[in-house]
Structure 1
Amino acid sequence: MANAVLKPLSLEYLNDMLGWVNNRDVTKNFAKFGKRITRQQEIAHINRMTASKTDRAFVMETKEGKYLGNISLHEIDWNAKKARMSILIANREERDRGYGKSAIRRLLKLAFNELGLHKVWLIVFEGNMTARGLYSRCGFQEEGILKDEYFVAGKYHNMVRMAILKGGQ
């Protein structure tokens, strides 16, 4: 299995991120993308993420240092001990090689063992069976369907909420 290395998000990765944030082929499974993002907006986003008390953002690299994409914990609720996870492997050629599974396992270890979280959850487009399969293989279980949760490209889309509890991986 391929091993993804997680490194804290920083401005060092700005050009890598700009290479995919406006590529609809890469972001099509992310409901929040759609409007063109400028260099200044991406700098502001990285600065917000790195300063945030409720986000932990990382880049994924190969062991040789090749940028793969991003993985993060968002909306960390320190009282309820839960967070929302997101992941994106930007380079299509690097998908289906085990990097996503490796990165998710590393992030879950950090979430549960270092941050003391109890639950990590995510939402995924109902029709994105590839991602749903990956999340299931990592121990996530479906909690329910969020009907018409996002309005993207002129239509509503259902999302599936999945979660994993500490000890479930």
Structure 2
Amino acid sequence: MIDLSALREKPTLAGERVSLVPLAVEHADDFFESTRDEEVRRLTGTHRRPDYDEIRDWCATRADQFDRLDMAIVEDPGGRFVGELALRDLDADNESAGYRIALSAIEFTGQGLGKEATRLVLDYAFNRVHLHRVWLSVYAFNMRAIAVYRSCGFSVEGRLRNALLWDERRHDALIMGVLESDFRRARD
């Protein structure tokens, strides 16, 4: 049975090169800037550009959300904001949740920061929240992200054909999932 108090806690999760901290209003400036990065927008399929007040309000209300976990990814040492992630779309009856992650700039890709952040949040999801399954959606052209997810135990479970229209081209989205046992095998 899942532990909903683990989603209310809003913990800080420390890794070797990144920490996950509760997303809050102090992250609004950096988060807003990440929504302006064209490559980040393409990789996440984000057409809409929220204004600053929307981002600030979003960040300010994350601590009040008891059915999800929104975290800022900060680089250690230094505390530089490198992205954000969320455990969301909780299905308590089936002990599962969705996952999303976005690094804030392309300069942070290829360094293992997203992989470490993903492992930290999956460890929390399976060991503290007691989820059985975590799933995500990723665009098929994002091979780097797909490789990271596979290394964390995710497997492709399905394909949404032509799910994204970007620059007059259509792209498929892959649905990937990881079970607690898959994550443990990938970690060992």
Q: Same fold (TM over 0.5)?
A: yes
Question: What TM-score does the superposition give when structure 1 sets the normalisation length?
Answer: 0.91
Decide whether the 8 Å contact of 2:135 with 2:177 is kept in 1: yes
Q: Give percent identity, aligned residues only.
A: 25
Correspondences of 1:1-169 after superposition (within 5 Å) = 3-31=17-45, 33-64=46-77, 65-169=79-183
- Residue in structure 1 matched with residue 11 of structure 2 by the alignment: none
Q: Which segment drifts farther, 88-97 or 133-142?
A: 88-97
How many angstroms apart in 1 are the aligned matches of 2:55 and 2:74?
Answer: 19
Give the match's secondary structure for 1:42. helix
How many angstroms apart in 2 are the aligned matches of 1:118 and 1:156?
Answer: 33
Decide whether the 8 Å contact of 1:71 with 1:87 is kept in 2: yes
Decide whether the 8 Å contact of 2:35 with 2:41 is kept in 1: yes
Question: What TM-score does the superposition give when structure 2 sets the normalisation length?
Answer: 0.82
Decide whether the 8 Å contact of 2:158 with 2:176 is kept in 1: yes
How many angstroms apart in 1 are the aligned matches of 2:165 and 2:60?
Answer: 28
How many equivalent pairs are there? Answer: 168
How many angstroms apart in 2 are the aligned matches of 1:151 and 1:83?
Answer: 26
- Output the amino acid matched with 2:48: K
Q: How much has 1:36 moved relative to structure 2?
A: 2.2
Q: How much has 1:98 moved relative to structure 2?
A: 1.2
How many angstroms apart in 2 are the aligned matches of 1:94 and 1:43?
Answer: 23
- Residue in structure 1 matched with residue 5 of structure 2 by the alignment: none
Decide whether the 8 Å contact of 2:24 with 2:61 is kept in 1: no
Q: How much has 1:30 moved relative to structure 2?
A: 1.1
Q: Which segment drifts farther, 39-48 or 121-130?
A: 39-48
How many angstroms apart in 2 are the aligned matches of 1:80 and 1:73?
Answer: 15
Decide whether the 8 Å contact of 1:139 with 1:168 is kept in 2: yes
Q: Which segment drifts farther, 22-31 or 136-145?
A: 22-31
Deviation per CA, 1:55-92: give whole Å up to 9, x if none. 21101111221111111111011111111111111132
Q: Which segment drifts farther, 43-52 or 94-103?
A: 43-52
Compare the two structures and name the one with the higher helix fraction: 2
Q: 1:59 to 1:140 in 2, by over 3 A?
A: same
